């Protein structure tokens, strides 16, 4: 069952994932350069070469662990969107725009051409419905 925090933090989690992927990609480039340097250098002592290779392996392992965590979080994000999509109009539209896209409720109200007070009320009902039924399955939530 999802918690309100899962819904509320969706956009922040999405940003966290993007930042971590950028970090991993930049570090992978560094690893590739270091690997090229190590393989192109005349080999010093086997002990020194092995120590450097071991450091690279540990670094790659830590990236793999981080990627595994990112994949788990992305799967949860997908389940949240899937559950939102099961809601009826206007709940699905409001929750998607507000929590997934990170728009302010006033902006959501303008996008949907709703009154702001109505949008707040529908957001509240939508969240309650989302939390009540998720993650139950495939039937349409009212």
- Region label for 137, one of left (φ > 0), alpha (ψ between -120 and 50) or beta (otherwise): left
- As a whole number of angstroms, the distance between CA 121 and CA 6 comes to 20
Q: Give the pLDDT of residue 55.
A: 73
Q: Give the pLDDT of residue 133.
A: 82
Q: Give the pLDDT of residue 25.
A: 82
**DSSP state string for 5-63:** HHHHTHHHHHHHHHHHHHHHHHHHHHHHHHHHHHHHSPP--HHHHHHHHHHHHHHHHHH
Q: In the chain, what are the domain boundaries?
A: 4-133
pTM, to two decimals: 0.72
DSSP state of 96: I
Q: Give the pLDDT of residue 2.
A: 86
List 137's β-bridge partners, or say none. none
Residue by residue, pLDDT tens for the chain (142 residues) are 788 888 888 888 988 888 988 888 887 777 777 666 666 655 555 665 666 677 777 777 888 888 899 999 999 999 999 999 999 999 999 999 999 999 999 999 999 999 999 999 999 999 999 999 876 544 444 4
What is the phi/psi pair of residue 90, to 5°? -95, 0
- As a whole number of angstroms, the distance between CA 140 and CA 111 comes to 24
């Amino acid at each position: 069952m999802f918690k309100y925090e899962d819904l509320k933090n969706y956009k922040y989690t999405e940003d966290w994932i993007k930042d971590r992927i950028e970090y991993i990609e930049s570090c992978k480039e560094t690893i590739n350069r270091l690997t090229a340097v190590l393989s192109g250098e005349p080999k010093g002592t086997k002990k020194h070469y092995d120590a450097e290779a071991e450091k690279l392996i540990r670094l790659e392992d830590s990236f793999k662990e981080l990627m595994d965590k990112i994949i788990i979080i992305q799967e949860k994000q997908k389940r949240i969107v899937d559950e939102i999509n099961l809601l009826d109009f206007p709940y699905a539209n409001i929750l998607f725009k507000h929590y997934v896209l990170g728009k302010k409720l006033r902006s959501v109200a303008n996008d949907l051409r709703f009154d702001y007070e109505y949008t707040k009320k529908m957001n509240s009902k939508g969240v309650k419905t989302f939390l009540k039924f998720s993650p139950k399955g495939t039937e349409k939530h009212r």
